[in-house]
A and B are shown apart, each in its own frame.
Chain A
Amino acid sequence: MIAAKDRKIALWNIGVAYTAFLIGTLCGLLQVFIRNDALQLPAWLDYYQILTAHGVLLALIYTAFFIFGFFVTGMSKTLGTFGPKVWLFSWIGFWVTLAGTVLATIMIVSGEASVLYTFYAPLKASGWYYVGLALYVVGTWISSFALIAHYLVWRKAHKGEMSPLFAFMTIATLVLWLIACLGVVATVLFQYIPWAFGWTDTINVELSRSLFWYFGHPLVYFWLLPAYMAWYLIVPKLLGVKVFSDSLARLSFVLFILFSIPVGFHHQLTEPGISNFWKFLQVVLTFMVIVPSLMTAFSMFATFETSGRKKGAKGLFGWFAMLPWKDVRFTSIFIAMAFFIPGGAGGIINASFQLNEVVHNTLWIVGHFHITVGTPVAMTFMGMTFWLIPYLTGRKFTKSMQTLGFVQIITWSIGMLLMSTAQHVLGLLGAPRRTAYSSYNNHPAALEWFDGILTSHVTMAIGGSILFISAMMLMYIVVMTMFLSPKAEKPEDIVEFPLADSDRESSPKFLENWKIWIGIAFALILIAYAIPLSSMIQHAPPGSEGLKTW
């Protein structure tokens, strides 16, 4: 078990993550009922306020705090107990991130920031909302630098050695995050805050959108890479084998750093101000992430098969039955992976240049991110929660909790399958996203969308309700394992941090030469962004004044 004072940092991060999860999923439940016209909100609460809270709390807050809880635990475990400075800055980072979160949440709840989590200008929220977002980012940076410092101390003491795979992957994810945040920091600090407080009159809208999406796409990889860490490092341990290939795992994480940032324009394919050449160039770069994704898929199946054969599986697919299906820590992650197959394929469709027009801003997109971040990432985090919290609190993960864990992940899968399939199909029919209940004055085209058995508000509401019930079961497990379950006294009750071995000695040294990878990452960013962004500044139309249209 890791040092008590490191455990405390991790537990506080996870505690905040699940507080955000509780409120965020409740907002999701309210949404499906409002869209179903079954629920009227009181006058002081608006659909778009709830939608903003749902997006911010689940996509930004739940994810980031959980990820830091996981990183702190794993870095303390693999590289040793935090030194006093690392410990101090981890706490400062935590509190600054939390302060930003609370400030932004207050602004959303008081109706001063119904701008959704994309906060597109010239919708103008209270300046304090943007200050909250800036604090959130700065807080995560402080936490990131604390972990990077911990890693540097280790490397200094272990000259010439490859770092443990967990530490390498953590640093890769943090490097990705730090580079990605430069875009959102630039727009919030230099565009939004001066404008929202009235120090400047107007804002360059297209530039702010492009800087946001420079951040917005790698943001999804910031969620995904920690889930991949569980797939690469936790799953083999649960299966009783080693990491399939240490060097390929490292290479795939490096490729994610390179190809997840210079690609933001694929979120802006149907808008003006960016020429087709630059849009297409970024589409090509976007597709490059398919390579490390395929490498990951190969590693996963190779791990499954190796483990099955070791247990005596025969035939082409005999290993499948040998997988530890009764272990909720494994089954949860396996389902998460299965959801990522259609999730990833949908992503390729979305990024396919002109094909994007068919799905852009329809409910298809909502379906897409519920089967990417909403299940592959979230359910991997759930699967990790089952052991991470008991590991940190020293409590038992009892038989009844394990059974409840199964019910929880199965209900989540069913709810998500219903809701996201309905959303995908509705999107293809043309139903828009981000809308409260509307039939467009009973327009026949709009009524037709929701006329099916699958494509109806009812299916979405049933799916959403099942998801909420599942979320509450998870909350019960979280509270029990955090505060109430009996302490693990006997050795067989002690919950471990399942971390697989990897042959790091054989991996080539250049994989851990960060100068190369950060250098190439910036070169690609310059190629993809320098010219189009400077033309947005040079050929900018008169700017926009802020508006509060809610």
Chain B
Amino acid sequence: MHLHKYEKIWLAFGVAALVVFLSVVGVSAFSHDHTPAGGMETIDPKKVNETAPFDKPGVTQLDDNTYQVAVVSMAFGYNAPELKVPAGKEIIFKVTSTDVVHSFTIDNTKVNLMVVPGQITTKSYTFEKPGKYLILCNEYCGTGHHLMYNEIEVY
């Protein structure tokens, strides 16, 4: 198979760029713990309201520098009373659904996760600036999908 000299240069450049891109993404992910939302915990979608931590949704302080926020998503809203968290501290979000697939997305942040019934999605995030942030659902969940939102206050 004949390869033109310029094509060899072009493909070598392309493959080198590919290696660099993937290394940047991989190193940042696995050595700096910079991975997307996820988690392997499961839950009975019919028993969400009686399973910890979703039996008492909302903010819990875990230690001096860590807070946990448990959120129950349902068509068409989020059950998480008094969402107030401090800036500069690690916030661990744990989100699940009692019905269909939703998302839990906080505007202007990297918190943008899929909520799948039967699974618990976990995401750690540290807010830098205080303020009121819009939370919304960006996965179609039914007639009221575009009315599914909430707010989190960072102090």
Contacts and interface: CB of A to CB of B under 8 A. Distances in A.
Given A268-B114, A287-B18, A361-B103, A355 B25 contact: yes
Contacts of A441: 149
A245 B2 contact: yes
A268 B36 CA distance: 10
B29 A276 contact: yes
B41 to A, nearest CB: 7
A445 B1 contact: no
A287 B118 contact: no
A19 interface: no
Interface in B1-35: 1-4, 6-7, 10-11, 14-15, 18, 21-22, 25-26, 28-30, 34-35
Interface stretch (A115-123, A175-183, A413-421, A466-474): A115-123
B73 interface: no
Contacts of B144: 549
B138 interface: yes
Nearest to B96: A272
Contacts of B126: none
A-B pairs, 7 with minimum CB distance: A549-B142, A432-B138, A541-B118, A271-B114, A541-B42, A438-B146, A272-B119
B114 to A, nearest CB: 4
A248 B146 contact: no
A549 B141 contact: yes
Given A272-B120, A361-B103, A354 B35 contact: yes
B37 interface: yes
Contact of B147 (A358, A361, A433, A438): A438
A197 interface: no
A434 B140 contact: yes
B140 to A, nearest CB: 4
Given A269-B36, A270-B112, A352 B25 contact: yes
Nearest to A351: B25
Contacts of B134: 440, 443, 445-446
A454 interface: no
B90 interface: no
Interface centre among B4, B75, B119, by most chain A C-beta atoms within 10 angstroms, is B119
A298 B7 CA distance: 7
11 contacts: A271-B114, A272-B37, A280-B26, A298-B11, A302-B4, A354-B35, A358-B112, A360-B138, A435-B145, A436-B145, A542-B118
A273 B108 contact: no
B121 A272 contact: yes
Given A288-B18, A294-B14, A361-B138, 4 more contacts: A251-B1, A273-B119, A357-B110, A544-B99
Contact of B18 (A121, A290, A356): A290
Interface in B84-103: 99-101, 103
A123 B142 contact: yes
A106 to B, nearest CB: 20
Given A271-B116, A549-B142, A542 B44 contact: yes
B38 A276 contact: yes
A122 B143 CA distance: 15
B37 A48 contact: no
A486 B68 CA distance: 73
Contact of B121 (A271, A362, A432, A540): A271
A544 B2 contact: no
Interface residues of A, number: 74
Interface in A205-253: 205-206, 209, 245, 247-248, 251
A512 interface: no
Interface string A433-470: 11111101101011000000000000000000000000
B107 interface: yes
A352 B38 contact: no
B139 A434 contact: yes
Interface string A524-550: 000000000000000111111001011
Given A294-B14, A438-B147, A542-B46, A352 B138 contact: no
A424 interface: no
B38 A270 contact: yes
B149 A247 contact: no
B58 interface: no
Contacts of A353: 25-26, 29, 35-36
B62 interface: no
B133 interface: yes
Interface string A67-78: 000000000000
Contacts of B18: 287-288, 290-291
